[in-house]
Amino acid sequence: MALLYQNGKNKSVRTEVEELELLKNDLDALTPEERILLDDVLRDLEATGSSPLADEISKLSYDAPLASIEEFVSSKYYLGELADSLFPKLKQDVIDLFSGDYDTAMFGGSLGAGKSTVAVVTFLRVLYEISMLSNPHKTFGIAPNDNIGFAVVAVNQFVAQGIIDSKISRIIDDSPYFSTKFRPISKKEGGIYFPKNIVLLPGISTETGGIGANVICVMMDEVNFFKTVDGNEGVKDYAYEIYKSFKTRMESRFRGRGKLPGMMVLVSSKKSVNSLTERVMKENIDNKRFYVVENATYEVVPQERFSGDVFRVAVGTENAMSRILGDNEPDPESMLVVKVPVEYKSSFETDIDRALRDISGIATVSVTPFISRRDKIIESIDPNRNHPFEYYIWQQDVPAKWKWEEICTKNYDGSWSPKINPSAPRFIHLDMSKNKDLTGLSMVHVGGGKEVLRGGRSETVPHFVVDFVLGIQAPPTGEIYQHEVRRLIYELAEHGFFIKKVTADTFQSLGTLQALKTQGFETDTVSVDKVGPYDYFKSALYEDRVSYYRHHLLLKELRELERSSKTGKVDHPTPGSKDLCDAVCGAVFALSQSSLSMAIQSSYEPKRSDYVDDENWVLGSAIPVDKSVQSGKDNSAVPGRKKFDLPFVMG
């Protein structure tokens, strides 16, 4: 599939080389007898411009010659009144689809761009072609009494049935061809039954719907808005499961030589760059039978409806926000710039990313980006620090080594000390998993205080330094080795890091936290799914109070975080993840709630008596305390802790 990418949208195009390759594949699939017949047809066409043999062959397959696709989309005989009201751009899209020998179509773009209507026309064209076959069961090699199914799939059964009742059935009733020549025999239980054992199945919303029928054509509506479920076996994307299930069944039952005889039709408005339509497009980038067209609302409706004046919009990237450009402002480098009719300007001024999706049909980084100031994600990278582990994502059955020199200094006596703020207590947070998702591990400390203005008043608040973040992946045939996760923590302690507390989410964390507790570590559970942790983290990020090194997956997750408008929960797109984000956010939030951070935020000079039960380190100033007032535990029980002496001094 060759994609022409213009104005932020895709359209399938074929080069001459690709056309010749498809023709060659079709010719190679012919039997010797079919080759002889083809040669005879070609000779007739070359000599007289017509071929009686071709006409006879067609009569063997069809009850009558098929109407061209151009006639079908323009004639009231087939589409009723829709033939007159269908915009020329949409008619051309259907013509391009059926002229190109495709077997999968994806209609995307903006709201109000006629996606569902053009999908219904495609659906009816396939129904028309199969209805014209003299013996469709013999043609496709299926049992004479079996049904040949057409299916409409949507987010739920009621929506799917609504498409059948309000769109497809109405056009069928309004079409002279479908109401006379191929009139439905009956309508029962939501299904429409035609002659030749062809049936339009009741509305479907699951991958098992229509499982007993030989489904030859499927229309899936608004596939980017199907539900996803995050369970013990990972994230289940229902739209993708349904798409693959029907595609596999169609290929197993109908795939002969060349393309599928029917059509898989996917329809959806834009959602985000991680939506199912974007994912399926990538999977089919080399599939020359895959057709894509994406339209903006203003590209479909007649141009005389607009004044002709336009404004320019720079589409946001992973590092920059979308914005309306000034009249004399040059196009920003590395950003897509689209021209939009001025009639839509107020919508873009109100919510630019939503307008890009709903009006221009352009996917944005996320639906409701949680971190809209993506420039802050980049500005928080410390270019002088590097990842201290051999892998950014460590699969546990692969041997891996620490790069201790990146975060530690070896002392003259053979011991190790952290390079940055060596005496600062560290907090570690674990985002646990079993096998499908990653386990995220992050270690964070407070690197000092930062003055910020809040409500016109200056406050001193903590600055958080992410020492380490790692994604841990289970072996292909096993589960996460929790003892290996704990080993990483022990090794950090042995290399001079004072690990004050280890926290984890509640999922499968109790055993690990209990084991760490027996080794002398203070432990607790922290859930970032509750209201608060991510909002605090975002505030710290916006105030330039978070610092980390470049970790490609962490940056990707931060950019793709989105807040659900229904639940208010911060989540990831599908497919996507936020395991490392959860680990960093959990560590930052746990640290922000400790007296260590509270001391930095206090407006008075802290006294020793204020911190008898916690760290005695505030804004880089050591506060003399006795060892007896620390935690009441024997530090020697924890690997590495015996190397620390109080008071702690800011390094």
pLDDT digits (tens, 9 = 90+) for 477-501: 788 889 999 999 999 999 999 999 9
**223-227, 333-337, 441-445, 497-501: least confident range:** 223-227
Q: What is the pLDDT of residue 521?
A: 94
What pLDDT band is residue 283 in, cutting at 50, 70 and 90? confident
**100-104, 188-192, 381-385: least confident range:** 188-192
Please provide the distance, in angstroms rounded to a whole number, between the alpha carbons at the two ends of the chain: 58
Q: With residue 522 as reference, give the H or E element that holds it.
A: strand 522-525
**DSSP summary character for residue 259:** S
Q: What is the pLDDT of residue 15?
A: 65
> Which of 621 and 114 is assigned the larger pLDDT?
114
pLDDT > 70 in the chain, percent: 75
Sequence-distant (≥ 6) Cβ neighbours of residue 147 within 8 angstroms: 197, 198, 199, 213, 214
Range 570-593 average pLDDT: 87
Residue 513 confidence (pLDDT) above 60: yes
**23-37, 201-215, 232-246, 390-404: least confident range:** 23-37
Range 542-549 average pLDDT: 94
Q: What is the pLDDT of residue 606?
A: 34
What pLDDT band is residue 596 in, cutting at 50, 70 and 90? low
pLDDT > 90 in the chain, percent: 40
Residue-range domains of the chain with CATH: 2-30+62-300 (3.40.50.300), 303-358 (no CATH), 375-643 (3.30.420.240)
Residue 619 confidence (pLDDT) above 60: no
Dist CA 615 CA 425 (whole Å): 8
Range 248-274 average pLDDT: 73
Q: Measuring CA to CA, which residue among 532, 536, 530, 534 is closest to residue 581? A: 534
Q: Whole-model pTM above 0.85?
A: no
- Tokens of residue 122, six digits: 């495609």
Residue 12 confidence (pLDDT) above 90: no
> Which of 30 and 61 is assigned the larger pLDDT?
61
| CA atoms lying within 13 Å on the CB side of residue 376 | 15
Dist CA 73 CA 67 (whole Å): 10
What pLDDT band is residue 248 in, cutting at 50, 70 and 90? confident
Residue 454 confidence (pLDDT) above 90: no
CA torsion angle 572 577 578 583 (round to 10): 160
- Tokens of residue 316, six digits: 């946001």
Question: Sign of torsion, CA 99 102 106 109?
Answer: negative
Q: Residue 473's beta-bridge partner residues?
A: 395
Burial call 352-391: b when 16+ CB within 10 Å, e when fewer: bbebbbbbbbbbbbbbbbbbbebebbeebeeeebebbbee
Mean pLDDT, the chain, whole residue set: 80
Question: Which residue stretches of 531-578 are H helix?
Answer: 533-542, 552-560
Residue 251 confidence (pLDDT) above 70: yes
Q: Measuring CA to CA, which residue among 595, 439, 605 is closest to residue 507? A: 439
Range 41-58 average pLDDT: 65
- Tokens of residue 297, six digits: 């609302």
Residue 25 confidence (pLDDT) above 60: yes
| CA atoms lying within 13 Å on the CB side of residue 476 | 1
Residue 311 confidence (pLDDT) above 50: yes
Q: What is the pLDDT of residues 389-423, one digit of tens each?
A: 999 999 999 999 999 999 999 999 999 999 999 98
Q: What is the pLDDT of residue 277?
A: 79
What pLDDT band is residue 234 in, cutting at 50, 70 and 90? very low
Residue 216 confidence (pLDDT) above 50: yes
Q: Measuring CA to CA, which residue among 405, 553, 360, 385 is closest to residue 466? A: 385
